[in-house]
Amino acid sequence: MPGRNKMAAPVPSAAIIQPVPPEMAFRLLNHGPTVLVTTSCDDRTNVMAAAWNMPLDFNPPKIAIVIDKKTYTRELMEASGTFAINVPCRTQADIVVKVGASSGRELLGKRPGDKFAAFNLPSFAASQIEAPLLQGCVAWLECRIIPEPHMQQMYDLFIAEIIAAYADSRVFSNGRWHFDGYDDLRTLHHVSGGFFFTPGDALTTSPG
């Protein structure tokens, strides 16, 4: 599946992007970052912002995420049964806002292409699913939906298993985020209206 629907961008260096063991995957979302959801089905792709996500289980790792019924992302998610979570960083704040404020479905009506093309977002191939992964992010989770029709319909809530996970090893390794020296790669935590926090001081408590 590499190539199709993907920008002609080089795959980032394997020395930087490292697999995250399944039992550590929850730690990519544990501190509450806003994420970008990427989807693909047949020749259609899309990307949207989603602040409402959380880990749901350790191993096999699962997540829960809220995806509104009216989104194009949801249409492609439900058609493919898969999606990717991309964890964006500080330098991508403008992208997150643009992607969150626009509809892939509306863009399609106005011009050919998709949000990746419209906003010039380079991507690379996922390992297990069709959805493209967004370059410049700091973590990626490839997800397969566990169908729960009642939750999807009633609460716009999707449950998914994380079937592969990766992180930029400059800021995540050995199951831990470490942003010191990489301010531009700090994760984004949306409050509202394009206003974000990035992680600041790290605290380590001693038990007892």
Complex with a second copy: residue 42 or 60, whichever CB lies closer: 60
Assign 42 to helix, strand or coil: coil
Complex with a second copy: residue 140 or 179, whichever CB lies closer: 179
Is there binding between residue 157 and a second copy (CB under 8 A)?
yes
The burial class, CB within 10 Å (0-12 / 13-18 / 19+), for 201 is exposed
98/22 Cα distance (integer angstroms): 31
CB of 30 to a second copy, least distance (A): 5
- HSE-up (13 A, CA, CB side) for residue 55: 18
Q: Which stretch binds a second copy (CB under 8 A): 12-20, 111-119, 126-134, 186-194?
A: 186-194
- Interface with a second copy in residues 95-114 (CB under 8 A): 96-98, 101
Contact 184, 90 (CB under 8 A): yes
Is there binding between residue 93 and a second copy (CB under 8 A)?
yes
Of 6, 44, 62, 115, which lies in the binding site for a second copy, with binding defined by CB under 8 A?
62
The end-to-end CA distance of the chain, in Å, is: 51
Of 10, 111, 112, 150, which lies in the binding site for a second copy, with binding defined by CB under 8 A?
150
Is there binding between residue 57 and a second copy (CB under 8 A)?
yes
Is there binding between residue 53 and a second copy (CB under 8 A)?
yes
Q: What is the DSSP string of 120-156?
A: T--EE--SSSSSPEETT-SEEEEEEEE--HHHHHHH-
Contact 73, 104 (CB under 8 A): yes
Is there binding between residue 117 and a second copy (CB under 8 A)?
no
For binding to a second copy (CB under 8 A), which residues are involved? 27, 30-33, 51-57, 62, 64, 66, 90, 93-94, 96-98, 101, 148, 150-151, 155-157, 159, 175-177, 183, 186, 188-192, 194-207
